[in-house]
Amino acid sequence: MSTCNMLKFPIMTMIISIVTILILSFPSSIAITKTNPHPFKKIYAFGDSFTDTGNTKSVSGPSGFTHGSDPPYGMTFFHHPTNRYSDGRLVIDFVAESLSLPYLPPYKYVKGNSPNGVNFAVAGSTAIDHEFFVKNNLTLDITLQSIRTQLQWFDKYLEENVGCKVKDVNCKVGDFHDALFWVGEIGANDYAYTIGSTSLLKKGAKYVVVQGFPMTGCLPLAMTLAAEDDRDNIGCVKSVNNQSYTHNLAILNLVKSLRRQFPKAIITYADYWTSYLTVMQSPTKFGIKETFKACCGMGGAPYNIDVFSFCGAPSTKACLNPSQYVNWDGVHLTEAMYKVVSNMFLKGSLMNPPFSFLLDQKLHRG
């Protein structure tokens, strides 16, 4: 995400979560062989900076996080900046790997038909409500990137490459049968707009993963801005976590409603909140030593955060071991944390219904 992102959780307006397509690894009961290949041939992803793989460059990114195209971003895996707001891969990258698919190309760099899917996610929305910044006398020129912008890109892509006209409400996209839709962090109303009434389910999407909000109150930026007496039992910002938790309840209700409206679709909920909480409660179990401090920053105590000069700016430095940190730059997570979360979603029990159920249904339906 970006500052705004983080604030919004890369595109989270204190409401984060967008339909992302989770498929990191298949359970042992589903062996991946030449006779039993991965069931999905492509991924269509939407969301904010937690999912954006390159649609947002430094010049167009959210205020504050204007150095996402500069080192040390990308240092861990790619060894150079890729316009991802992290030191390496994101959840959506691990999903692609698990399906033996190439990393999703960002929409802005796609020319013609992309056989393995497209990433429409773009940084810019905030995870923390704008009122939180106003309350703390911090004014940010937030660049709002609406999910509707992503859907306009999606419609344009379909029209140019599939022949599905935007105004043709009866148009069904055949290749959606083999596509996994991943909706990452966004607002509750945006979820309804994205998954339901507009492009996805009505155009034929059958397999959708809706990702909930993480514990945004545990992000270093939130910790830095909030009053010291605003803390919960694990040391995070109580008011912000309460907002995120409430948002997740709203998302769950929406998912239930969409399941009733589209009974033939498999819509699964990825519990980002619980995955984050699990790491915060037992970090060493996952190789994590630092749960609150940002890996990359200006060195401001106690969270390595300077709200006016974020990672990538002159004089900022990255830690030598980002794999031991939850947070990368004060708002976005490290590759290590994204990998842990992905494993919990795809190999663990933090998706409802389980990811294994979604895969079984796809394999049985063909």
pLDDT score of 31 more than 50: no
Report pLDDT for 323: 98
Give the tens place of pLDDT for each residue, 283-323: 999 999 999 999 999 887 899 988 888 899 888 899 999 99
pTM for the full predicted model: 0.83
Identify the weakest region by mean pLDDT among 87-96, 123-132, 149-158, 180-189.
Answer: 123-132
Report pLDDT for 203: 82
Q: How confident is the model at residue 169 (pLDDT cuts 50, 70, 90)?
A: low
Residues 6+ apart with CB under 8 A from 7: 1, 14, 126, 127, 128, 130, 132, 133, 140, 142, 221, 331
CA distance 98 to 23: 6
Q: Average pLDDT in the 241-255 region?
A: 91
Domain boundaries, the chain: 36-215+238-281+333-365
- CATH number for the domain running over 36-215+238-281+333-365: 3.40.50
Give the tens place of pLDDT for each residue, 187-199: 544 555 556 544 7
pLDDT score of 24 more than 50: no
Over its C-alpha atoms, the chain yields an Rg (Å, rounded) of 19
What's the mean pLDDT when you consider all of the chain? Answer: 80
Report pLDDT for 299: 83
How, if at all, do strands 266-270 and 207-211 pair?
A: parallel
Q: Percent of the chain, pLDDT > 70?
A: 75
- φ and ψ of 83, to 5 deg: 70, 15
Q: Which residues are catalytic?
A: 49, 329, 332
pLDDT score of 274 more than 60: yes
